[in-house]
Structure 1
């Protein structure tokens, strides 16, 4: 990704331009697929969105020179935002919660980021709503501070247009895009561009068990980085042909299986994406399936890749080999890998 044309300097030109990897078949019959390896770019996948949101705010006059940037994050966006804001001359305040990994806290401290740590979940909105409540307090107390609002800012999705262009240069055809969904940004941004190139592209959304995004009830979630206790406006429901919910048992098994056969490792979103992408490739022989691995393994070494941590939480239970099929996301609460071909905006009265 080239930012030099608009004057940015430093490390920003190193964001993006990530490789595409072929992930071979696994022992359970899930066949191979392509994955965009975003950990190979400085700041990970969400650095793309961070730069787009800050650049857009600057152009509109919403972000003034040297003003603090304040955002809520479970961790991944925070890394990209710290890089982008520092390069563009802004201090960063991140609102995180008490479950953020100690390694991430240490990393943010090394980056010179101020952390506001939420100690208790909101009774209905979980950690996300609790972080947003604290964020509102910080904004009120810090004059001139800017909130990118990753969940509802259309510049989030716009930040992935360059990734889509990289993909069209790297592949001559994509039939199925498998995209994890948190804020909704990267799926919306990729779909917008890729469907102009390949109009018949099918899009599979991958959510977390316990997430509200596609009409399931919000529950406490082990997995971080995908799913949501709120309804982000960046989720474009008509883009999706179907949705899968993945539980932590399946995600851990998938993460470890991909790492064992490729030495490519990542977090919850990577495991969930790999699971569903492998399933899609097996289900549609000959289809070219693409997904995105958003980050690398380092923040997960004491969780997903730690035997004791997983054993304590029962995450080595037998993982499902295929999804349970449900007809309506509002009628059945799923507890593990499930699939639904009815994609509904929970805020709307009728399916889309």
Structure 2
């Protein structure tokens, strides 16, 4: 097939069955590999959906400027869209932004604004967003996608990603997805609740994230976790919450590479760890797991033993035997944080 431009290749990502990372009780874990999108992640879908809708309603004008706060895949997706559609793209990031992201977006012509002063908690997300607000006020015809609060984020996944998934997998019992902006889990789940109401939605988040109202802490994994509840996360569409520690999620992403030949990112590792826990608790079930991006972004980080040692993560992985397939599978049956049902979480917060 010949496409008119690279953006037409977004979507239609493959679904692969895990063969070795299984609970061994008749359950089945299927992973949808979003790294097959042209900029390498599920954010290609999100970014394109938000841009197209903004074009249609006039928020983004021809030859306009796209400005967004990002330190990862959203920046790569917007840089690709800007190059393909002729927009100026300004990405507001911080000194912690991975080199792989910086090099990717610069190669596509995006501009970088670096916020080098963190907030009182040492984080950069809020200061970055403040910089975006200032820039959009100064630059004419600028558009801020605002991925955390833009309803077009979730709508894209409800209308496109979910429909694609339903066409690929005719029957399944659970959807497991990592929570970042809340867009893809809320969007996909919204459609599933209408089309397949018996499917359970499991939200996987980093231990230390405040997305579901838990106390905010620290975490090392990228691609999931946020210091406040994002506007796109609809709690009523998530049936269970599984908090995953850094060593559990990162060990799983490394094991997926070595045992399944699947090179995926840290949030995908966390999601598969959550799916494996669900599989242990529900023999014979079929579980679809969203794998948001590929592992190439993490070669100098979570796939690097020295990087893990510097951050104190190598020791807990080794101490818990999570560098062995059998021990990792056992650990998923008894994770550091047991899953929390939404009804229980509502009772706690009330």
Structure 2 unaligned spans of 5+ = 323-327
Q: Alpha-carbon deviations, 1:265-308, whole Å to 9, x = none?
A: 21111110010111212221111100111111111000010011
Give me the CA root mean square deviation: 2.4
Q: Quick one: distance in 1 between partners of 2:34 and 2:80?
A: 15
Q: Indicate the residue corresponding to 2:325 in structure 1.
A: none
- Over 3 Å counting, the alpha-carbon distance change for 1:323 and 1:152 in structure 2 is farther
Q: Indicate the residue corresponding to 2:59 in structure 1.
A: 62
Is 1:49 matched up with 2:46?
Answer: yes
Is 1:40 matched up with 2:28?
Answer: no
Q: Which runs of 4+ in 1 moved over 3 A?
A: 27-32, 322-325, 342-346, 348-351
Secondary structure of 2:67's aligned partner? strand
Secondary structure of 1:226's aligned partner? coil
- The answer (yes or no) to whether the contact 1:35–1:291 under 8 Å persists in 2 is yes
Q: Indicate the residue corresponding to 1:297 in structure 2.
A: 295
Q: Quick one: distance in 2 between partners of 1:79 and 1:304?
A: 20
- The answer (yes or no) to whether the contact 1:157–1:188 under 8 Å persists in 2 is yes
Please state how far the C-alpha of 1:60 moved relative to its aligned partner: 1.3
Is 1:242 matched up with 2:217?
Answer: no
TM-score under structure 2 length normalisation: 0.89
Picking from 182, 188, 196, the partner of 2:186 is: 188
- The answer (yes or no) to whether the contact 1:178–1:276 under 8 Å persists in 2 is yes
Picking from 202, 206, 223, the partner of 1:225 is: 223
Please state how far the C-alpha of 1:29 moved relative to its aligned partner: 5.5
Structure 1 unaligned spans of 5+ = 326-335
Q: Indicate the residue corresponding to 1:11 in structure 2.
A: 6
Secondary structure of 2:204's aligned partner? strand
Name the structure with the higher helix share.
2
- Over 3 Å counting, the alpha-carbon distance change for 1:324 and 1:130 in structure 2 is farther
- The answer (yes or no) to whether the contact 2:75–2:101 under 8 Å persists in 1 is no
Q: Alpha-carbon deviations, 1:169-210, whole Å to 9, x = none?
A: 111112100011010000111112222221111111011112
TM-score under structure 1 length normalisation: 0.88
Q: Quick one: distance in 2 between partners of 1:179 and 1:84?
A: 25
Is 1:21 matched up with 2:16?
Answer: yes
Q: Alpha-carbon deviations, 1:223-281, whole Å to 9, x = none?
A: 22111112211001001111011111111110111111111121111110010111212
Secondary structure of 1:298's aligned partner? helix
Q: Quick one: distance in 1 between partners of 2:123 and 2:338?
A: 22
Q: Indicate the residue corresponding to 1:311 in structure 2.
A: 309
Between 1:145-154 and 1:29-38, the stretch displaced more is: 29-38
Give matches, 1:1-352, under 5 Å.
9-26=4-21, 32-43=28-39, 44-124=41-121, 126-160=123-157, 161-316=159-314, 317=316, 318=320, 321-322=331-332, 336-342=336-342
Please state how far the C-alpha of 1:28 moved relative to its aligned partner: 7.2
Q: Quick one: distance in 2 between partners of 1:238 and 1:103?
A: 36
- The answer (yes or no) to whether the contact 2:221–2:250 under 8 Å persists in 1 is no
